[in-house]
Structure 1
Amino acid sequence: MKRVYTAEVTATGGRTGHVKSNDGILDMPVRLPEGLGGNGGATNPEQLFAAGYAACFQSALMLVASKQKIRLDEKSTVTAHVGLDQFENAGYGLSVQLDVKIDGVDKEKAMELVEQAHQVCPYSVGTRGNIDVQLNVLN
């Protein structure tokens, strides 16, 4: 294995604190969402994970499509829904639903591309077996 990039972000204060990347590009408060009894008004770990997964999956989708000489429509999207789930034993975990909209490709081909992207996306590979990920193709 050859590492090609390392992201470095430091958090202080947990879910009611601050996150900052070593290059300063990411520098923002983190707050407990209103749905969990917080005041909201800032991002939260689930939103940050969803943003990363959606962007990474979209790139994987573009990669697998390009290898088949398919150019994805610019309006194609990946929307990640990341759930914070509480288990009966009072532990917590995440679940993910990816809604993928691919314009200009029939539904069968779109499903094939999504499945292939799920095999190569680093987020999908990293979460496999640990997080329930549902794939939905929207047309």
Structure 2
Amino acid sequence: MNALYTAEALSTGQGREGRVATSDGSFDVSMTPPKELGGSGAGTNPEQLFAAGFAACFHSALHAVARGRKIKIENSTVGGRVQIGNNDEGGFKLAVELEVVIPELEQGLAQELADAAHLVCPYSNATRGNIDVTVTVSDD
């Protein structure tokens, strides 16, 4: 792969109980497990970071696909939901739900754009075949 950009982050402490910061200093956050996993929930967690990254990346892909088709979209949103659970082999697995809202478009066209974005989004391509990812187009 010819890398166009490389992001760097460093985790210190004990992973879910510590800090994560980027090498450029633009992001520095306390990590704490959610209450559901026995933590205090006072900081952020890897699942929240993954949900945020996937939602933002997918939203960019959605706009790129729309621009490529000369379709103007405004007021769109992409919500990301990441779940963690047992994988029945002693470890854990993730599942992702993305909710796409494009208020000014007809449902069928919005679904076409979301399906096309799912084919080009780097997060979608990285997770395809590895974890369950559901993309839903909603009108609210």
Matched, 1:125 2:125: yes
Equivalenced residue count is 138
Cα RMSD of the aligned pairs, angstroms, is: 0.8
Q: Distance in 1 between matches of 2:23 and 2:77?
A: 29
Aligned residue in 1 for 2:94: 94
Q: CA deviation at 1:23?
A: 0.6
Q: Distance in 2 between matches of 1:28 and 1:55?
A: 18
In the alignment, structure 1 segments of 5+ residues that lack a partner are none
Q: CA deviation at 1:26?
A: 0.8
The code of the aligned residue for 1:98 comes to L
1:61 counterpart SS class: helix
Identity %: 49
The code of the aligned residue for 1:24 comes to G
How does 1:107-126 map onto structure 2 within 5 Å? 107-126=107-126
In the alignment, structure 2 segments of 5+ residues that lack a partner are none
Aligned residue in 1 for 2:76: 76
Q: Distance in 1 between matches of 2:46 and 2:129?
A: 21
Q: CA deviation at 1:36?
A: 1.0
| TM-score under structure 1 length normalisation | 0.97
Q: Distance in 2 between matches of 1:56 and 1:7?
A: 14
Runs of 4+ in 1 over 4 A off after TM superposition: none
Q: CA deviation at 1:28?
A: 1.1
Aligned residue in 2 for 1:55: 56
| TM-score under structure 2 length normalisation | 0.96
2:32 counterpart SS class: coil
